[in-house]
Structure 1
Amino acid sequence: MGRPHHHAYTWLGHGSVLVRPGDAHRRPSHPEFRSAAVIPLECADWLLKPASRIEGTFHHPEEGAAWFTKQLAAHADLFVGTYPSIPTREEHVRTLAAGEDIVGGWWVSNDRFLSLNLIVCSPHRVRPERPCPLT
């Protein structure tokens, strides 16, 4: 997948998993990293997870923005508390077109955390050495 694109990842889990009993399992150097069903500490590290974790691959910013918007709507009934306004779909399109990641995280019902991620690939802006998980 040589041309720039974005991979989509979602994680919904109990917040205690994020800090059990530290965050070593969320770092690529940890032996459990690839199999740990938890968000990595660094966004680009999603690209080091197995390809089976990818929920979608988007070559056009409009497609990625549509996925993100759809995921937010699908989980809207879980949100608790007050959050700042979420960027519009048009703002997401501009961000993706610039080759940037879109990452969002929210506390939701039952002490869970929702993480939605669109991670740029081939190459990643911050970590260009990260390989595409689909190659």
Structure 2
Amino acid sequence: MHHHGYLWTGPKQRFDDEALRRPPHPDPPPADGRPELIQRYKEVKAEFPLVDLPPLETAYWLIKPGKLVRGTWEEAKEAAEWLGEQLTGHATRFASESDRDSTWLAILVESATERLGRGGDVSHGFYLERPSFLSLALVCCSPNRTTPELECPSR
């Protein structure tokens, strides 16, 4: 088992486009269905695997292009340290003052180490200045506990 790190920052409005953050339903709409639904299904099916937006379900980062992986670690502690570096590096831009608290950030890193060590995924999101958003995720791979059918993006 190993862990992949993902980071996304961007406009909150783009982050809120949930249609591109969830995988398409396994069953397409009926062929005689409303044309706009059929077209939207085709768009989401084509774009979801490629778009850099964070998926609603953390494990689905694994089907995104490998170039979105920001790091890979064998040890949970190393992956959580990367998370800590990202949190520290972005903390001055957090919209909420309580999110900037160094004790709180240390708790998040410690919690990530424990969760990753048990094979779980970790995902955090923070509002940044302007209306921007930061998404950080650490995903267990080979296999992922919640979706073992997903292949590793880098192996």
**Partner deviation per Cα, 1:57-106 (whole Å, 9 max, x = no partner):** 01001110110000000101110124463424333221111111111001
The 1-side partners of 2:82 and 2:20 are apart by 28
The 1-side partners of 2:71 and 2:111 are apart by 20
Displaced runs of 4+ in structure 1, greater than 4 A? none
Indicate the residue corresponding to 1:24 in structure 2.
Answer: 19
Question: 2:3–2:141: 8 Å Cα contact kept in structure 1?
Answer: yes
Letter paired with 1:56: G
Q: 2:70 aligns with which of 55, 58, 62?
A: 55
The 2-side partners of 1:66 and 1:97 are apart by 13
Q: 1:37 aligns with which of 43, 47, 52?
A: 52
Return the TM-score normalized by structure 2. Answer: 0.78
**Greater helix proportion:** 2
Indicate the residue corresponding to 1:107 in structure 2.
Answer: 127
Q: Please state if 1:9 is matched with 2:6.
A: yes
The 2-side partners of 1:112 and 1:44 are apart by 23
**Which has the larger Rg?**
2
Structure 1 residue runs without a partner (length 5+): none
Q: Number of aligned pairs?
A: 130
Q: CA RMSD in A?
A: 1.5
Structure 2 residue runs without a partner (length 5+): 25-43
Indicate the residue corresponding to 1:98 in structure 2.
Answer: 118
Matches within 5 A, 1:76-95: 76-83=91-98, 85-86=104-105, 87-95=107-115
Indicate the residue corresponding to 1:66 in structure 2.
Answer: 81
Range with greater deviation from structure 2 (114-123 or 86-95): 86-95
Question: 2:52–2:68: 8 Å Cα contact kept in structure 1?
Answer: no
